Amino acid sequence: MVSALAVGARRTFEAVCAGKRGFSPVTLFDPGEQRCRIAAEVRGLDVAAIAPEGQESRFSRTDAMALLAAREALEEAGVLTRALRLGIALGGTTGGMHETELQVFGAPPGPLAPVRVARLMDHPLCATTEHLASAFGAVRTSTIVSACSSSGIAIAEALAWLESGAVDVVLAGGADGLCRLTFVGFNSLGATDSGPCRPFDEARQGLTLGEGAAFLALEREESARARGAEVLAFLAGASVLAEGHHITHPEPSGERAATMLRRAVEHAGLSLDAVGYVNAHGTGTRQNDSMEASALRRVFGDRVGRVLVSSSKSQLGHTLGAAGALEAAITVLSLQRGIVPPTSGLERPEASDLGHVTGAAKHVEIEVALSSSFGFGGMGSVLAFERASAEPRPLAARSALSVVVTGLGESTSDALTELDPERSRRFDAGAAGAALAATRALGMARLEAEETGLVVGSAYGNVDRSVSFLLRVAERGPKFANPAEFPHLVGSAAAGNASVYAGLRGPVLTASERERSGESAIARALSLLELGAANAVLAGAVSARDPIVDRVLEPLRSDGVVVPRGEGAAFLALEVEEDALSRGARVLARVLRHVELLSGAASALAEEGAPSARSALVAGAVGERLEAAIASSAWQKALRLSILERTGHHEAVGAFALSAAVALIAEGTADDVLVVSGLADACYLTRLVAPGRGSA
């Protein structure tokens, strides 16, 4: 862990248990005349000293904190070696926004110079994941953006990877650095406290922002025991759901949050009676704390006063995308050490019937603890942890999961004209495209929105809209920040808006992997289905024309032809085959295999075997290395469709390629289609077959 209280997990935990608070005046930037001028800032962070030699200019505060926390987790686990198959699952929201803002606030008045515009793209959300993968080696990565539940969901996905045997160890967690955008944004919403936050207190006035990073090293028990590693706790279960209620306000009854809590315990195969501690989301805002108290009453009933509750944000601040990981780490240490930390600043609990820990930490042996995270757009996750000394119990055997496609939806332009104007009046083109394409896929599949999830691939969000917001602040001051704009600038805004528009209440999140965001969204959706977090998920990507992105990213050259940048959204309805058949759905295609590769495309293509006479290859954005791998494989002679000719080049091309592949099968043109994409070393291979076909 890296926090405002300390660098290091044990030091942070000890400070939290001692009731220390990490709040102080902001020094990273001038907060101006705003309601709140304090934060839980990590002091003395020397980014240049932490970054690998030669990469100082490419490293952000978020990257540096992530690298420190990740190295600590791997060293403690004894797996700081490339001999094991390592997966890296990271959640975040701000990435290198602080460094990006330096190009805006350090510029003279007027239009930004071309060199500054180019620097705006230096730190995408997935940059931190890429730095960690480079530092430690990884066979699989994931960058999840789901507001304040980002790193909680990343940890949940790690569980799916380990259960499927895709990796040996997962470095799962999150990192987020402070930046003006979120600081001004939350102040403009009136969501901050002028002093240190007071979660669950009658006098609470809002949250206090913070920054930090935390990672858990996760592996299967038999692997850890075989290595002689110390087991700190068990990640026993997880749930990921959304409210489908509002982009900023939580659903006040707490009904959906209660469902998340119950499902995490059910997924763990445990009883609610075993839960002794909840590390609550506890932001200190009026609405969130009230909702969370209602959810706890719904879940624990007459026992609610005997379940200990505390909020770590009262000491670490609200670290946004990193919050779930920091709080998960604290929950693990609480179980291991038999100490439950207090909620600092809580003097007069509004919900006095809850088992609040106030004043001093409590020394008590807890068997099972929950860690909750709820974010913008109603996206939430709950993790269930169990003591390392828990009685062994057999895990239920899982049969191989068969996933089918039951719906397709696309949007190429002017999506706003086809949406309800009242419900989409704040949408930008990205949110509108995602909402329209996802709704069309939902309709074709004839799925109920109530339990259907949504994964939106989005590489950069709305860069132009974010820069316009910041320029206004730079030129006129924080008091001119538009509170109605801020919620639509976060990286998960398109997913949040689309889920609320369509009423989707299954798992909702954003996958961000540059030009591979569409393929990554499919991979994240498959993980959610494997985890049992949903039976159906709409997955795809959206890319809207953005003046800044278009200026920085040159048109793609493919086979000597310049492919101009385009835009659009494409989504697939992915469903567990058994559920699809039981409700009589029309199956368009079956997902035979979906492979994420950080290297080794040639060998993976060779393993696919020779295509049949009715096979086809659909190419998304394909770079020279992958093109050479295709040319040397048996698939070079298959019917080939290049999706770029239809869509132009953009970051959602992979989703369009997958949609086109499904259409080829559904219309009877092919019964076995391989989708390939990848501009650098990393690539994706997806094998789709006609319904009823077995292994190819």
For 560-580, the pLDDT digits (tens) are 678 889 999 999 999 999 999
Over residues 294-310, the mean pLDDT reads 97
Strand partners, 339: 363
Place of tokens 């686990």: 77
Q: Active-site positions?
A: 148, 281, 318
Q: What is the pLDDT of residue 696?
A: 43
Q: Specify the pTM.
A: 0.96
User: Greater confidence, 195 or 394?
Assistant: 195
Q: What is the pLDDT of residue 398?
A: 63
Q: What Cα–Cα distance (Å) separates residue 46 from each residue in 43, 49, 54, 59, 72?
A: 9, 5, 15, 11, 17
pLDDT tens readout for residues 324-347: 999 999 999 999 999 999 999 999
pLDDT tens readout for residues 193-251: 999 999 999 999 999 999 999 999 999 999 999 999 999 999 999 999 998 888 888 88
Q: What is the pLDDT of residue 375?
A: 85
CB neighbour burial string for 301-338, b if at least 16 within 10 angstroms, e if fewer: eeebeebbbbbbbbbbbbbbbbbbbbbbbbbbbbbbbe
Helices (H), 193-233: 221-227
CA–CA gap between residue 252 and residue 337 (Å, rounded): 35
Q: What Cα–Cα distance (Å) separates residue 162 from each residue in 86, 157, 217, 483, 498?
A: 10, 9, 12, 41, 30
CB neighbour burial string for 620-630, b if at least 16 within 10 angstroms, e if fewer: bbbbebbbebb
Q: Is the pLDDT reported for residue 48 higher than 90?
A: yes
Over residues 670-696, the mean pLDDT reads 86
Over residues 102-119, the mean pLDDT reads 77
CA–CA gap between residue 92 and residue 60 (Å, rounded): 13
**Nearest in space to 579 (alpha carbons), one of 616, 535, 538, 613:** 535
Helices (H), 553-617: 577-582, 601-607
**Nearest in space to 31 (alpha carbons), one of 194, 175, 196, 248:** 194
CA–CA gap between residue 612 and residue 125 (Å, rounded): 40
Q: What is the pLDDT of residue 553?
A: 86
pLDDT tens readout for residues 128-172: 999 999 999 999 999 999 999 999 999 999 999 999 999 999 999
Q: Is the pLDDT reported for residue 396 higher than 70?
A: no
The fraction of the chain above a pLDDT of 90, given in percent, is 78
Rounded (to 5) percent helix, strand, coil in the chain: 40, 25, 40
Q: What is the pLDDT of residue 680?
A: 76
Q: What is the pLDDT of residue 694?
A: 61
Q: What Cα–Cα distance (Å) separates residue 360 from each residue in 16, 92, 279, 313, 344?
A: 10, 31, 16, 16, 9
Q: Residue by residue, what is the 3-state secondary structure of 276-336?
A: EEEECCCCCCHHHHHHHHHHHHHHHHHHHHHCEEECCHHHHCECHHHHHHHHHHHHHHHHH
Q: What is the pLDDT of residue 438?
A: 97
Over residues 452-478, the mean pLDDT reads 93
Rg (CA), the chain: 24
| Domain annotation for the chain: domains and CATH numbers | 9-387 (3.40.47.10), 403-689 (3.40.47.10)
Q: What Cα–Cα distance (Å) separates residue 281 from each residue in 310, 423, 462?
A: 9, 28, 27
Q: Is the pLDDT reported for residue 114 higher than 80?
A: no
Place of tokens 């799962």: 172
